[in-house]
Every structure is written in C-alpha cells, then in structure tokens.
Amino acid sequence: MKETILTGIRTNTDMTLGNMLGALYPMVQLANRFSKDHHINIFVPDLHTIIAEIDGDMQKNVIRSIKYYLALGLEMNENIHIYRQSYVPAHSEMTWILNCFTYFGEASRMIQFKEKSEGKGENVNLGILDYPVLMAADILLYSAKYVPVGEDQFQHIEITRDIATRINNRFNTDVFKLPAPTKEQAKFMGLDDGLRIRSLTEPTKKMSKSDPSENSKILLSDNPKDAYKKIMSATTDSLANIDFDMFNQPGISNLLQILAVLTNRPLAEVTSVYAGSSNYGNLKRDTAEVVENMLTEFQAKYNSISDEDVLKVFEAGEKYANDIAGKKLAEVQKLVGLR
Ligand code: TYM
C-alpha cells in the first residue's frame, strides 16, 4: 500500500516566509519527489481557520492558499489530492469520537492553546482547545505517515500519536496507523530538527503574521525589493563571529537557516561557508538576494494561475478524500459501537 504524506495550512489573506519555508516549500519538494509512489494530500483546514477571527474573504483565501503550492512548482498528477476540510464531513465526525478519548489536561497543555488563549480569561472558544484533536482526525483519517509542518506543530503530531495509541490499546486493534515521531518527520524533511523561522527584528520569537512590526516578517505578497531591505536590516548581534548558535546568535542563525532551505543545501554546509567571519554583510546580502529572487519568481507564477485552475482540482480531491476518510470513519464507528 502507498504511504501518505499530508499537510494543511490555515487560510489567511497572506502568509509569511515562515509558513513558506516550514511547510509549503518542503511539501512541494517532497510531493515532486515522492508522488509517483505515495499519496500526497494537501488540504485547506478551513474548520481550523474559523477558531480565530476570519481574516478577509475566506473563499478567496482558500483559493489563494492552493495557488501558493502551485506557484512553488507543485507538479500535479493522479496521486496528488487537494481538498477542503469542511467538504469532507468525516473530519468533524471523527473529531467527536477522538474527543471522547482525549483528556482536558493534555489538550490544555498544548503550547499553542496557551499562546492563543493568553489574556482571554474564560472567554476562550472551545475550538482553540479542540484544534489539535481536529488535526489528529485530519492525519488519522488518511493513515498519513509523514506530515511536513514547522516545529510549532510538532506537539500536535505527538498528541495525535498519543490519542491513536490510546484508542488502539483500548480496543486492542491497529485501526489507526501512527504518524512517524517528530524526529523522523524532521529527518524526512531533510532537517536535523523542526524548522522555526524567527522574527527578523526579535529573533528569539517565531516569525508570525500577527506580529504588528512590518519589519519582523516577510510576507509572500511583499515587494521583493522591500523583502531584500528587511533582510539587510535584520537584527543580529555584536559578537562579530558567524556561527550557527540559536541560543547566543539567533539572528545570524535565522539567516543561515533561511539561506540553507532556499538553496536546498544542508545547514552545516551553508554554515561552513561563513563560519568564523566577522563580516555579517556578506551573509545578509546573499540571503537577501536569494529571498528577493525567490519572491520575484514565486509572485510571477502565482499571478499566472487562475481561480478556475484551483477550483478544478478540488473536485477530484474531495471525491478521493470522502472515499478514504469515509471508510476509516466507518471502521472506527464500528469499533466504538456506533455501528
Ligand atoms: P498554521 O496554519 O498555523 O501554519 C501553517 C504551517 O506553517 C508553519 N509555520 C512555520 N514554520 C516555520 N517557521 C515559522 N515561523 C512558521 N510559522 C508557521 C506551521 O508549522 C505549519 O506547518 N494546525 C495547523 C494546520 C493543520 C495541519 C493539519 C497541518 C491542520 N490540520 C494536519 C498538518 C496536518 C496550523 O494551524 O498551521
């Protein structure tokens, strides 16, 4: 049986270089490499998107996020399945069943729950708490082994494994296939660890679309020349010695990381080119150039894709997804006694 590689990105009116390098880019690379003998599931988690205030026109955003994959060079074939989560009702149904095997304690310990509920007191919507369980359903319905995501989502892969193991043990079955452990996921993406692209102005923080500082983030819609300038003015340090050290030199390490991913080279190889140099300008210029060129090419391709091109791929993808997810749901319904 073919293995499945699966990922999703919440829709927004824009995305950051972090989303691109943490998830879009590796998924396209893996899809192009493995789609001959793997299923590649790329879906739009629209149900996940509504846990927060909707940013712009959701329908336009849904189309935009699929255009991103196509603009990055995703080569379509019959093993690539593109679908919208809410068009496959088994996701919601499976989430309810998984909820009944998930503890409040473990859900409330998720870092993203803590971050997203901070300062909201008791007025935190339940979707924010339940979001990793819906993500577990997204993965388990398709028995996905590899889930290319950024490091901030690794905890959700771990909870998926925990819930699946609990149900398998409880019913003494192997109904759920576990996604690979996160270390293995990173390795599959060609990384030592999970990828976390940092803010350009405060490199101890993750690059995030919600950061009010424009210079902290590169948006995929940024003018490539502005993106160049943002990299050139990125916060570094005064150690005057290039090294990959996220703890003492997070700004420099972030640039090395961005350059390595965008040039498809191992981090150690890129680091060795600049290591020991006191001249931060060269590294900044090289990174800024690569980002500028990538955005120029990406945006031109993006603008050449029509909405119709995207709407067409949903039709076949949703038929496939409903078939696979429906079968897995039926199996689990039977197991827990609902059928
Ligand atoms: P989301 O929409 O918050 O983020 C989308 C993807 O972008 C990655 N990412 C980053 N990677 C590196 N550095 C950063 N600064 C950075 N910022 C964002 C995220 O890790 C993610 O891979 N719950 C998921 C969506 C989802 C999903 C799934 C993913 C729902 N169901 C099933 C995989 C499988 C989310 O909200 O990601």
Residue 109 maps to a domain:
yes
Domain identity same for 29 and 178: yes
Residue 208 maps to a domain:
no
For ligand 1, the distance from its centroid to the CA atom of residue 3, given in whole angstroms, is 21
Pick the closest to residue 25 from 142, 139, 149, 145 (CA basis).
Answer: 149
For ligand 1, the distance from its centroid to the CA atom of residue 219, given in whole angstroms, is 15
Segment 74-100 shows an average pLDDT of 98
Residue 206 maps to a domain:
no
Domain identity same for 271 and 322: no
Task: Tell whether the model's pLDDT for residue 286 goes beyond 90.
Answer: yes
312 is catalytic: no
What is the atom index within ligand 1 of the atom nearest the CA of 7? 33
Residue 196 maps to a domain:
no
Domain identity same for 280 and 332: no
Domain identity same for 66 and 131: yes
At 180 the three-state DSSP class reads coil
Point out which residues pair with 38 in neighbouring strands: 3
What is the pLDDT, as a whole number, of residue 124? 93
Rounded to whole angstroms, how far apart are CA atoms 297 and 72? 9
Which of the residues 67, 145, 206, 328 is marked catalytic? Answer: 206
Which of the residues 116, 177, 229, 301 is marked catalytic? Answer: 116
| Helix, strand and coil percent figures for the chain, each rounded to 5 | 55, 5, 35
Q: Tell me, what CATH number does 41's domain have?
A: 3.40.50.620
Predicted confidence (pLDDT) per residue in 209-220, tens digit: 989 999 999 999
Domain identity same for 234 and 320: no
Q: Tell me, what CATH number does 229's domain have?
A: 1.10.240.10
Residue 201 maps to a domain:
no
**Structural domain harbouring 233:** 214-302
Q: How many domains does the chain have?
A: 2
Domain identity same for 149 and 238: no
Q: Which two tokens stand for residue 181?
A: 């452990």
Predicted confidence (pLDDT) per residue in 168-194, tens digit: 999 999 999 999 999 999 999 998 899
Predicted confidence (pLDDT) per residue in 23-78, tens digit: 999 999 999 999 999 999 999 999 999 998 888 899 999 999 999 999 999 999 99
Domain identity same for 294 and 327: no
Domain identity same for 266 and 314: no
Confidence grade of residue 303 (pLDDT, cut at 50, 70, 90):
very high
209 is catalytic: yes
Average pLDDT, the chain: 96
Torsion angle defined by CA atoms of residues 5, 193, 84 and 337, in that order, rounded to the nearest 10 degrees:
70
Domain identity same for 228 and 124: no
Which residues does a 6 A CB cutoff place in the pocket of ligand 1?
6-10, 18-19, 21-23, 45, 48, 135, 138-139, 147, 149-150, 152-153, 195-197, 206-207
Domain identity same for 298 and 310: no
pTM for this model (two decimals): 0.96
Domain identity same for 111 and 145: yes
For ligand 1, the distance from its centroid to the CA atom of residue 167, given in whole angstroms, is 25
Task: Tell whether the model's pLDDT for residue 13 goes beyond 90.
Answer: no
Segment 84-97 shows an average pLDDT of 98
